[in-house]
Amino acid sequence: MTVKVHVFQWVAVPRLRIKAGQDIGHLYSDIGNMEELHEAASSLGCKSGWFQNHESLPHYDIWASKLTQAREKYPIATDEELYQYMKRRRNARSSKNRRSVQQKE
């Protein structure tokens, strides 16, 4: 299983019914397996519009009952695990960009 949950606290977002200090999370694949990530999100009842296709961390924002379900079903990622994953993605993109520039020269 490559899908993990990173839990953290954020500021209040009234329109989403998120209170200041409330746990929210990122559901992501630690090896970049988007198919498995989308399947996991679907199994939790996440909407496709919740997917955040950020270069450094493609993920679903989850909270409330979805976060509770995810915590029961998937491993919890530490801050350090998430940081290392994002660092690997950045380094891979940088290497790819350097190779692309070298090939054009």
Give the residue from 64, 9, 54, 10 showing the smallest Cα distance to 28.
54
Q: How far apart are CA 9 and CA 39, in angstroms?
A: 25
Q: How many helices (H) and strands (E) does the chain have?
A: 3, 5
pLDDT of residue 51: 96
Give the residue from 55, 68, 54 showing the smallest Cα distance to 24.
68
The number of beta carbons lying within 10 Å of the beta carbon of residue 55 is 9
pLDDT of residue 96: 65
pLDDT of residue 101: 53
pLDDT tens, the chain, 105 aa long? 689 999 999 888 888 888 888 899 999 999 889 999 999 999 999 999 999 999 989 999 999 899 999 999 999 999 999 999 999 999 988 876 665 555 665
Q: Helix or strand or coil: residue 55?
A: coil
pLDDT of residue 13: 85
Q: How far apart are CA 56 and CA 87, in angstroms?
A: 8
